[in-house]
Structure 1
Amino acid sequence: MKHIAKGIALLLDETGLITEVIQDNMAFFEDKNPCGAPLTAYLYDDSVQKSFELIYRIKKEGAAFDWEMHARVGGGNHFLTFSGIKIENGIIMVGTTSSEDTETFLNGLMEINNEQLNKLRYFIKKKGGQEAKIGNDFSMYNNMSSLNNELANTKRKLIKKTTELERINKLKDQMLGMAAHDLRNPLSVIQNYADFLMEDIRKGSVGKEQYELAKEIKESSEYMVQIVEGMLDISAIESGSISLDREDVDLHRLIQRAVSLNRPSAEKKNIRLDISLCDESCDKLIDYHKFQQVLNNLISNAIKYSEANTTTTVGIEKDEEEIIIYVADEGQGIPEEDRHKLFQPFAKIDVEATAGEKSTGLGLAITKKIVEAHGGTIDVKTKVGEGTTFYVRLPG
């Protein structure tokens, strides 16, 4: 005679409340509707804690098998073996009179087309599969833990970025303080020499010495203006308030104009300024005045750091992808250890101007920002003792 296994199949929520009775062929609930009641209401006190541990294990590991608990079956007193599996909306729980009956009971439910029951049947039938399933769930748990760790790391990185932004803001304040310090000296020179000049003028003695004092006043005030204008440019660019007044510009004429403006300075140092233009016309939608500033910075730097009887070439090349404007000198070159400082505000490098010219340390930083605002890039190729070439690359 075929053995008919007795048992119950329940759907529980994650807290252990019964939400559906799938099968009950042992009058476990005595024809009562247990939905909404906890499973523990049908267990004796000595098994209540154990049922909590079983539900916890299922939620944590995905499945648990062969847990014996003391149950109230039809008002009687029986020990049932419970097995369960975690599903998307809760837990499938099966209880039978013995672990041997569990598979038989589930097989008797074949007519119930329930995917989760079939899955539970499979894991109980394949004891090796039980470990595989639990192992997979542990892997999923570990993956979730890894994701949580990544989120925690991201949070730490955000905190680090915030700290870095605060540091940069403090650096900005230090830069302003340093600029104020640099301004103090030339302003003091202006004040002191102006006093001497005014005193001598009142005495009626104006000569070569007064001329030199006036010259120093002029040079110091010019340096001061360069610092102030550079600070204003950097501040506007960094705050995002820089505005580009774009127009269609003939880059050949722009280069010729920039060279013309810098030729007197080059001639004073006996430096030759050459121009190398491409054969075809080269127009670009740019801010004329800001790009004039870019070229002036690059050309004046080439003159400033080059010796007499050398040549600086300003040229332009064009292909289908980009336009390249370059300024190449035969100057001192830049040491490897200083190259990363080139485009940093107020950065000081070991290369000295060849005629004692002053530098604010802002020109290349401003140049880079203006070029990037136009969607371009700037890079440098240099060799100590042979010269330096700056390349400004714009989309074609």
Structure 2
Amino acid sequence: MLKQLISRYGLSRLQMKLLTITVPAFLLLGTIFVTAIEVSLFVDEKGSLEKKLERVTKTFIVIVAEPLWNVDIERTASILGAMSIDEDFVSAIVYDDEGIPFATIGKTNQERTPALTTQQQIIYTPEMEQQPRVIGTLVINFTDENLLATTYHRVATVISLATLFAFVLIFTNIYVHRKFVGTPLQRMLALIRQSSEKPAGQRVEWSSDDEIGVVTTAFNKMLDIQERYYEELEVQVKNRTQELSEKSELLELTLSNLRGGLVVYDAQGQMLIWNDRYFEIFNLPDRFRRVGQDYAEIIRYDVELCLVNRDLDNDFDVDNLIQNRLDSFVEGRKETVELCFTDGRIIEARRNPMPGGGQICSYIDITTRKRAEEHMIEKEAQLRAVLDNIPGGIRYVDVNRNNVFFNAQYSELYGLPDDLLKIGDSIQTENLYQAKRGDFGPGDPEELSKAWLKKLPVLVEPQSWERITTHGKVLEVHTTPTPNGGVINVVTDITKRKQSVEELRKAKEVAELANRSKSDFLAAMSHELRTPLNAIIGFSTMIKDQMLGPNKAAVYAEYGADILNSGLHLLGLINDLLDLSKIEAGKLELNFDQLDTQKAILDNIRTVDPLAEKSEVKLTINLQDNLPSIIADQRAFDQIILNVMSNAIKFTPPGGQVTVSVSAVRDNTQIIISDTGVGIEPKDLDKVMKPWGQIIDPLKADHKGSGLGLPIVKSLIDLHGGKLSLESKVGMGTSITITLSNSGPDPK
């Protein structure tokens, strides 16, 4: 269709493309515009129809009220019949107050719901009544079919006019283009086609003052220019040929003086240029010295004469090798391979693709170099084996601080990745990695690395130092300068040695602490045991010898009481020692049972109440209501409370106060025992929690005690899975908080 229009009306492809875009776009925009207008008109007219339905409904509910009240069916039906004259009317129904149809006119299509429906109650005020009453319901149905038909008719008319206008526009455009563009264009193409069939240099005979004439004149001038160009081109070709001949001679001279062999193949694998050295390397006969020689024949000749060492590949296949090389020509692959000959020679072959296809192949005998490299690699492998088995890291950098060599232990000791250090790289790479890792502290890693490099001294003598890595290793670094300005670093891991020294130091401290603890224990025990024993021995001797006379029974009885108190004190001290030793040995057995918290606290308070009265210390009790019971050992619980309260009363001066507060905190019971006593220095808080940790000199103190009370209390609380905290201020008192789980210790 497009070709027929172009041929018949002389339309250009561009104009046809514009028409195929413009016409549908015009029709689409026109359709959208008409649709928008019609939708707006339809909405307005439908709104008017709804208002008319509302007016009709309001009018007729007033008219049918009286006949409905009087049950006049005929009159009601006649009133409804007045509606049927409206062209939009469908049906109307009057229902009584019980919802039963009273009168109906019109017919509702059961398959199609009316477009417009209204339903309103019929209200009537009887003559004998003052209040209006709802006596029924009026339902009126209208249709919008007439409105839709009118809308469809308008839309069809507008679309028909728009289509007619579009066709007129199209055919007008085609006619104008054919008259003023198509015909002149066809005439001009005919002239150009006619001139192309004539001998070169023949001019197109045409004269006119329109665009065709201008184009014809330009075409004739182009022919003149073309003739002059051909003449100049012949001269240039002659000069270029001579120049190429000279360059060819120069190229042949250059190729013949190359140390290696050189050959050039085209994209089909045919030989174009070569030098004598190429034939010498491959021992090729002179019959291959011709342009167009196929590469496949040359490689097959070499292989068949065993010039290539096939021992290197047991699966050597001549056809596969030839096909691979031909594929390389076609694909333009760049390759560098080593060819091993049976006579021991090693030839390096480099193949580079040419822009227009084909390859330039160069061949160099590298046998001597490869032997030297193999010897060097062997020596380097031996040196590497020695370095890698040295028990430590070693690195050598030159005067420019570039890596010359290093062993694997060096990277391992400093925690560096295996591929980080490279021969020839600056040590800044290593320092930058360490800076990013945080070895040099916070800050910009690059700035830290540069600052570290600036601080490196110019070594003139060996140096040694220790460095602790981020992994916790202790490294001993020995740095030795070399005569050429380089530096050799030898790194040894001395972590285990340092740990051994540290362990020995700690063991020495532990032994010294144990010796001091033993001395403190013996001193405390000797005092605590000697004092009651001296009293027992002294008073018993006075009673036995009746040193005050035979009639001093009352005095002797008092001495007996002192003997009893000293014995009880000695028994308590021994019991504390036994309890502490059992706890530390893990052999103290506890019997956990459910305890009434409030009763257990009050029983212990009654026990220490006489001591408080004797010491003139006031006891204050704050117990939360409905305290939960706890799982604990009765004897251990009593020992905890009695020890803490006894200490509080003992170190509270007369007139002071001891407060016991007990409350439930989530699933725990919290017991706080605070006093207004002498208090404890902050530096002595840890001491009082250790066995024999008395902060008052037992030889000078007025209060008797072994210093085992709080350590035993803490151990018993730990066995219950609880916590103990102590707060104290000198001169203001001490507060001890005991927290025990209501469910007892963790079974684990």
Query: TM-score normalised by the shorter chain: which range applies?
Result: 0.5 to 0.7
Match of 2:681 among 314, 320, 335: 335
| 2:573 maps to 1:246 | no
Instruction: Return the offset for 1:300.
Output: 0.8
CA distance in 2, matches of 1:24, 1:207: 125
Match of 1:318 among 656, 660, 664: 664
Change (3 A) 1:263 1:143: closer
CA distance in 1, matches of 2:472, 2:338: 39
Change (3 A) 1:145 1:377: closer
Query: 1:52 corresponds to which residue?
Result: 382
CA distance in 1, matches of 2:609, 2:732: 22
Query: 1:173 corresponds to which residue?
Result: 518
Match of 1:377 among 723, 730, 744: 723
- Kept in 2, the 8 Å contact 1:338–1:350? The answer is no
Q: Bigger CA drift: 173-182 or 248-257?
A: 173-182
- Kept in 2, the 8 Å contact 1:305–1:351? The answer is no
- Kept in 2, the 8 Å contact 1:332–1:384? The answer is yes
The amino acid across from 2:383 in the alignment is E
CA distance in 1, matches of 2:693, 2:550: 45
Instruction: Return the offset for 1:173.
Output: 3.3
- Kept in 2, the 8 Å contact 1:275–1:313? The answer is yes
SS in 1 for 2:648: helix
Query: 1:289 corresponds to which residue?
Result: 635
SS in 1 for 2:678: coil
Q: How does 1:201-220 map onto structure 2 within 5 Å?
A: 204-220=550-566
SS in 2 for 1:334: coil
Task: Give the TM-score of the pair, scaled to structure 1.
Answer: 0.64
Instruction: Return the offset for 1:365.
Output: 1.4
| 2:530 maps to 1:184 | yes
Task: Give the TM-score of the pair, scaled to structure 2.
Answer: 0.36
Change (3 A) 1:333 1:52: same
| 2:706 maps to 1:360 | yes
Instruction: Return the offset for 1:220.
Output: 2.0
Query: 1:98 corresponds to which residue?
Result: none
Instruction: Return the offset for 1:372.
Output: 1.6
CA distance in 1, matches of 2:676, 2:406: 79
CA distance in 2, matches of 1:171, 1:25: 83
| 2:655 maps to 1:309 | yes
Change (3 A) 1:344 1:133: closer
The amino acid across from 2:586 in the alignment is G
| 2:473 maps to 1:146 | yes
The amino acid across from 1:52 in the alignment is Q
SS in 2 for 1:309: coil
Q: What's the RMSD between the two structures over aligned residues? A: 4.7
SS in 1 for 2:686: helix
CA distance in 2, matches of 1:143, 1:333: 45
Q: Give CA deviations for 1:213-252 in whole Å, capped at 9, x if unaligned.
A: 2232122222222221222222222222223221122221
Query: 1:11 corresponds to which residue?
Result: none
Instruction: Return the offset for 1:25.
Output: 5.9
CA distance in 2, matches of 1:130, 1:270: 79
SS in 2 for 1:342: helix
The amino acid across from 1:146 in the alignment is K
- Kept in 2, the 8 Å contact 1:294–1:367? The answer is yes
CA distance in 2, matches of 1:176, 1:27: 92
The amino acid across from 1:245 in the alignment is N
Q: Bigger CA drift: 200-209 or 187-196?
A: 200-209
Q: How does 1:17-56 map onto structure 2 within 5 Å?
A: 52-56=382-386
Instruction: Return the offset for 1:286.
Output: 1.4
Q: Give CA deviations for 1:364-383 in whole Å, capped at 9, x if unaligned.
A: 11111111222222122223
Q: Give CA deviations for 1:123-172 in whole Å, capped at 9, x if unaligned.
A: 78xx64999589989x9x97789275555444444444444443454345
CA distance in 1, matches of 2:640, 2:573: 16
Instruction: Return the offset for 1:316.
Output: 0.9
SS in 2 for 1:360: coil
Query: 1:96 corresponds to which residue?
Result: none
SS in 1 for 2:546: helix
The amino acid across from 2:722 in the alignment is G
CA distance in 2, matches of 1:258, 1:192: 34
CA distance in 1, matches of 2:525, 2:338: 87
- Kept in 2, the 8 Å contact 1:63–1:134? The answer is no
Change (3 A) 1:236 1:169: farther
- Kept in 2, the 8 Å contact 1:63–1:86? The answer is no
The amino acid across from 1:277 in the alignment is L
CA distance in 2, matches of 1:198, 1:251: 49
CA distance in 2, matches of 1:219, 1:387: 29
The amino acid across from 2:382 in the alignment is F
Instruction: Return the offset for 1:51.
Output: 5.4
Q: Bigger CA drift: 360-369 or 175-184?
A: 175-184
- Kept in 2, the 8 Å contact 1:62–1:134? The answer is no
Match of 2:619 among 273, 289, 293: 273
Structure 1 residue runs of 5 or longer lacking an equivalent are: 5-22, 31-41, 65-82, 88-115
Higher RCO structure, 1 or 2 (CA under 8 Å, sep 6+): 1
| 2:735 maps to 1:389 | yes
- Kept in 2, the 8 Å contact 1:378–1:390? The answer is yes
Change (3 A) 1:168 1:245: farther
SS in 1 for 2:632: strand
The amino acid across from 2:568 in the alignment is E
CA distance in 2, matches of 1:144, 1:339: 36
SS in 2 for 1:392: strand
CA distance in 2, matches of 1:285, 1:360: 30
CA distance in 2, matches of 1:296, 1:176: 24
- Kept in 2, the 8 Å contact 1:193–1:217? The answer is yes
Q: Give CA deviations for 1:89-132 in whole Å, capped at 9, x if unaligned.
A: xxxxxxxxxxxxxxxxxxxxxxxxxxx9xx9xxx78xx649995
Instruction: Return the offset for 1:335.
Output: 3.1
Instruction: Return the offset for 1:85.
Output: 11
CA distance in 1, matches of 2:427, 2:541: 96
CA distance in 2, matches of 1:58, 1:385: 69
Instruction: Return the offset for 1:263.
Output: 0.8
Instruction: Return the offset for 1:24.
Output: 8.9
Q: Give CA deviations for 1:271-321 in whole Å, capped at 9, x if unaligned.
A: 222221112322222111112111111111111112223332212122215
Structure 2 residue runs of 5 or longer lacking an equivalent are: 1-261, 264-277, 282-336, 345-373, 398-403, 409-417, 438-466, 475-492, 743-748
SS in 2 for 1:267: helix
CA distance in 1, matches of 2:425, 2:514: 61
Instruction: Return the offset for 1:179.
Output: 4.3
CA distance in 2, matches of 1:219, 1:156: 52
CA distance in 1, matches of 2:567, 2:543: 15
Instruction: Return the offset for 1:327.
Output: 1.0
Q: Bigger CA drift: 377-386 or 167-176?
A: 167-176
Change (3 A) 1:128 1:178: closer
Alignment size in residue pairs = 314
| 2:609 maps to 1:263 | yes
CA distance in 1, matches of 2:472, 2:341: 43
Change (3 A) 1:191 1:50: same
- Kept in 2, the 8 Å contact 1:247–1:287? The answer is yes
Change (3 A) 1:328 1:54: closer
CA distance in 2, matches of 1:134, 1:208: 92
CA distance in 2, matches of 1:62, 1:27: 40
CA distance in 1, matches of 2:431, 2:693: 60
Misfit runs of 4+, over 6 Å? 47-50, 61-64, 83-87, 133-137, 141-145
Instruction: Return the offset for 1:395.
Output: 3.7
